[in-house]
Structure 1
Amino acid sequence: MKKLLILTFFIFSSATLFAQAGLKKGEQAPSFTAVDNNGKELNLKALLKKYKAVVLLFYRGQWCPYCNKHLQQLQDSLQTLTGKGAYVIGVTPETGENINKTVAKTHASFSIIQDKDYKIMKAYDVNYVLDANTVTAYKKYGIDLDQNNGNTDHMLPVPATYVIDKSGKLVFVHFDKDYRNRASVKSIAEAI
C-alpha cells in the first residue's frame, strides 16, 4: 500500500508540472489521418461525413489502471455511443504490442491509434514529457515507458476526451491534468 501511495504521489506530481491546456469547447478540431490497431485508415474529415460525431480519447498506456478502467467503461457503453451515431477512437503513444495488451485487458473493440510521432497528441495540446525522477519512480514499480512506447522520450498524453461534431467543432471537452479524473460515459453520450 505504501508503494502505491508513493507511486501515486510521483504520478500526480509529474502531472502538475506541464503547461498543456488542451483545446477548448467550440474550437475547430485538428484534422488527422492515421492507421488504427486493425490496419484501418482513419481520416477525421471522412469519419465526420459518415458519423454524427467522433469521440476522441487519449490514454497513457496498458500499464495505467485508470486508463484501463475508463476504456472498459467506454467499451461497456459502446453500443450507447455508436447508437447515437458516434465513432470512438483511442489515441496512445504505446506500441502496437502494448495496444494489444490494452485490448486484451479492456476488450476494447473501438479503433485505437498508436500516435508514434505524437502528431495527434500535439495537435490537441495534450502531450507532456515526464521528468527523470518520475521515470525512475515508474521503473521501480515495473512501468518501463521505454519498452511500453518503443522510444526514450517519455512523452505521455493528458488523459483527455473530446467529442467532435459533424462540422468539426469540439462540442465536449474533458481535460484534467489529474490522471485519475476521466469523462463519464453519460457526459460523453449527452454531448453527441
Structure 2
Amino acid sequence: MKMKKILLIALVLFTTTKLFAQEPLKIGDKAPLFSLKDNNGKLIDLKSVLKGHKSVVLFFYRGQWCPFCNKHIKNLQDSLQVLTAKGAYVIGISPETAAGIDKTIAKTKASFSIISDRNYNIMKAYKVSYVMEPGLAERYKKGGLDVAMANGQTDYVLPVPATYIIDKAGKIKFVFFDKDYKKRPSVSVLDANL
C-alpha cells in the first residue's frame, strides 16, 4: 500500500513538472488567427469576429466530463450579459467531439460559440496543449474515462484550462494560464480586463 502511494505521488509530481515547462502566450502577443465551425455550424473566423466586437474572451476547457470546466462554463453563461455589454464575444475551445460539446451545452446551458479543436491546431497555436502521461491516462481509464475516446482520437491530448482576452487589434490583453485544472478566472476578473 505504501509503495502504491509513493508511486502515485511520483506520478503527480512528474505530471505537474511537465505542465510547469509550458509557457502560454504573453500579453501583447499577436493572437493566432483561426477559422472553424462552432457547435451550431456557424463559421467562427477570429479576424471577422474581432471586426464586429471590442474583444474576444477565448477559453480552453478539457471536456464535458470535467466538473471544474462545467462550473466555469456555467459561470460564463450566467454572466454572459455582463461580458457582451462590454462588446466581448465569448468562444470556448475543447478537443472533445461534437457529441461531447452537445453534452457540455446540455449541462451548462451555454449559448456562446464552442469549437471542437479535433486536430489541436488552436490549442497548439495558443500553447495550451499537452499530452497526458500514460500512467495518468490509465488512471482516468480505470475511473471510467477514456480521454482519447472522448476526443475521438487515439492520443491523450488536453488543454491547460487557459483564458485569453484578445483586443480589437488582435493582441492579447489578458492571460490566465494555470496548470491546476481546478482553477479558472472569475467573471469579475474577466470583466475588469475587458
Q: TM-score range by the shorter chain?
A: over 0.9
**For residues 12-63 of structure 1, what are the alpha-carbon distances to aligned partners after superposition, in whole Å with 9 as ceiling and x for unaligned?**
8634423321101111111111110000001111111100000000000011
Following TM superposition, the consecutive aligned residue runs of length 4 or more in structure 1 with deviations greater than 2 angstroms are 7-16
**Contact 1:15/1:179, CA 8 A, preserved across alignment:** no
TM-score w.r.t. structure 1 length? 0.92
**Contact 1:58/1:92, CA 8 A, preserved across alignment:** yes
Structure 1 residues 179 and 103: CA distance shift in structure 2, 3 A: same
Higher radius of gyration, 1 or 2:
2
TM-score w.r.t. structure 2 length? 0.91
Matched residues in 2 for 1:135 and 1:20: separation?
A: 19
Structure 1 residues 61 and 125: CA distance shift in structure 2, 3 A: same
Structure 1 equivalent of residue 15 of structure 2: 14
**Contact 1:89/1:111, CA 8 A, preserved across alignment:** yes
**Contact 2:27/2:172, CA 8 A, preserved across alignment:** yes
Alignment gaps of 5+ in structure 1: 1-6
Identity, in percent, stands at 57
**Contact 1:12/1:179, CA 8 A, preserved across alignment:** no
Residue 8 of structure 1 and its aligned partner are, at CA, apart by 11
> What is the DSSP-based 3-state SS (H/G/I as helix, E as strand, rest coil) of the residue aligned with 2:91?
strand
Structure 1 equivalent of residue 45 of structure 2: 43
Matched residues in 2 for 1:173 and 1:112: separation?
A: 19
Matched residues in 2 for 1:151 and 1:118: separation?
A: 11
Matched residues in 2 for 1:63 and 1:105: separation?
A: 10
Aligned length: 187
For the pair 1:181 / 2:183, whether they are aligned, the reply is yes
**For residues 68-96 of structure 1, what are the alpha-carbon distances to aligned partners after superposition, in whole Å with 9 as ceiling and x for unaligned?**
11011001000110111000000000000
**Contact 2:148/2:157, CA 8 A, preserved across alignment:** no
Match of 1:110 among 112, 120, 141: 112
Alignment of 1:116-155 (within 5 A): 116-155=118-157
Alignment gaps of 5+ in structure 2: 1-7
